[in-house]
Amino acid sequence: MDITEIPVEGYERVVRGQDAESGLHAIIAVHDTTLGPGLGGMRMLPYATEDEALTDVLRLSRGMTFKSAVADTGLGGGKSVVIGDPATAKSEALFRAMGRFIDAVGGKYITAQDMNIGNPDLEVVAQETRWVTGLDRDQGGSGNPSPSTAYGCVIGIEATLQEAFGSPSCQDRTVLIQGVGAVGGRMAELLKERGARVLVCDLYEERARELADRLGLECVADAGHEELACDVYAPCARGATLNDDTIPRLGCRVVAGCANNQLAEPHHGQALRERGILYAPDYVINAGGIINVSRELLPGGYDEAAAMEKIEGIRDNLAQVYEIARTEGVPTHEAARLLAERRLEAGRSAQA
Ligand code: NAD
């Protein structure tokens, strides 16, 4: 295995791992470990060039630093990418080599699942390194993060309702969910239990219809759904749904959903503010999964009840974001960044 440093300003360590025998070509980026080791998923994609993979891993690892700082997990930011086609290039030798590569970073980077990486892949990685989280429960891990993400989002919706309307209650609030997959589907269920009127849509309409029929929700068409009048719009399908086209047409008072990278561009945060729409920054409200997995690293290991309690901290994290936005006159995505930077700064001062 050849491990070579890639010097990148502003990153603690970026390394390339290449192993001729297994065909591994991967990059690990450790962005910042001020608050703890850099935890972030491993993704596998057929990147056209190493530069493309590098750009992705740098962006994602930096994002993890901010996400974990706001989530208060005691973790920093890191991420890894394996360059290759997940349909053809996966092998035991490849993931064993990846495990040795992760091990060589000495615990500054801790891995988990991300795009195209499943539990069977991580199980192989775990044979070579102990710096693996998110394995199935029967292997001592915290398992599928989606229910935790969904629970955290519902706590976050309550916190956002509190800010927008002066009450956290979901009772009789109309919530529109786009994307009823692993997270959105569970959110629909939890919101219904809390007395909300839940509207659902999905690219696969039959998926939304089946859920609606089963839980007593309303299924709406995906096309043009943004315009429907509702209290809360929860994007739970894909990124960049808040953009020049959709923002003028939004019929909601609040945007609070689990999808990553909801703002097409940072300036769309200001556009929402100008329309009087309160936006729950995506990486703050969707942190339930990372909070859940972070509990595996505590002495004594993972404890579901304690993890759920910690996820409820999303309420306070969002309250702090909204307070900064209010008192400093900035959009909420900017307030989230400020909160993360202040926590990192406090961490640096404590270490000095
Ligand atoms: P999923 O694949 O289980 O569900 C996504 C749903 O959205 C599917 O039902 C799909 O049909 C629908 N969808 C996809 N593209 C669509 C489109 N263009 N229009 C309408 N519907 C569309 O995914 P998930 O795990 O529920 O994650 C949803 C989002 O939340 C993703 O952006 C993911 O990155 C983010 N997220 C997930 C977690 C987690 O724990 N799973 C954590 C943080 C963030």
221 lines ligand 1 (CB under 6 A): no
Nearest CA to ligand 1 atom 39: 146
pLDDT of residue 140: 86
Do residues 211 and 333 share a domain? yes
**CA 244 and chain centroid, separation:** 23
180 lines ligand 1 (CB under 6 A): yes
Residue 35 lies in a domain: yes
Do residues 225 and 334 share a domain? yes
The Å distance, Cα 236 to ligand 1 centre, comes to 5
Residues forming the active site: 79
Last residue in a domain, options 90, 105, 132: 132
Nearest CA to ligand 1 atom 31: 259
Do residues 105 and 197 share a domain? no
The identity of residue 146, as a single letter, is S
Domain count, the chain: 2
241 lines ligand 1 (CB under 6 A): no
Residue showing tokens 């991420």: 79
CB 90 within 8 A of CB 18: no
Question: Which residues of the chain fall below pLDDT 50?
Answer: none
262 lines ligand 1 (CB under 6 A): no
43 φ, ψ (degrees, to nearest 5): -120, 150
Nearest alpha-carbon partner for 111 in 149, 66, 143, 81: 81
pLDDT of residue 334: 98
Show the domain range for 329.
146-287+316-341
Residue 189 lies in a domain: yes
Which residue stretches of 244-303 are H helix? 267-274, 282-285, 288-294
CATH number where 238 lies: 3.40.50.720
User: 310: which 2 tokens?
Assistant: 């910690």
Q: Is 50 exposed, middle or buried (0-12, 13-18, 19+ CB in 10 A)?
A: middle
CA dist 160 and 197 (Å) reads: 17
The Å distance, Cα 288 to ligand 1 centre, comes to 15
CA dist 263 and 244 (Å) reads: 10
Residue showing tokens 């890894």: 80
CB 236 within 8 A of CB 187: yes
CATH number where 115 lies: 3.40.50.10860
User: 170: which 2 tokens?
Assistant: 């979901």
pLDDT of residue 136: 94
259 lines ligand 1 (CB under 6 A): yes
**Separate counts of helices (H) and strands (E) for the chain:** 12, 13
Nearest alpha-carbon partner for 176 in 242, 252, 286, 240: 252
246 lines ligand 1 (CB under 6 A): no
Do residues 180 and 96 share a domain? no
Do residues 327 and 200 share a domain? yes
Do residues 114 and 174 share a domain? no
User: Nearest 10 degrees: CA dihedral of 318, 324, 330, 333?
Assistant: -30
How many CB atoms lie under 10 A from the CB of residue 300?
7
Residue 335 lies in a domain: yes
pLDDT of residue 321: 98
If you write DSSP's letter for every residue of 107-123 in order, what string do you get? TSEEB-B-TT--HHHHH
Nearest CA to ligand 1 atom 2: 181
Do residues 119 and 175 share a domain? no
Nearest CA to ligand 1 atom 9: 181
User: Nearest 10 degrees: CA dihedral of 245, 246, 248, 252?
Assistant: 180
177 φ, ψ (degrees, to nearest 5): -110, 125
Do residues 180 and 126 share a domain? no
CB 10 within 8 A of CB 67: no
226-269: pLDDT as tens digits: 999 999 999 999 999 999 999 999 999 999 999 999 999 999 99
Residue 306 lies in a domain: no
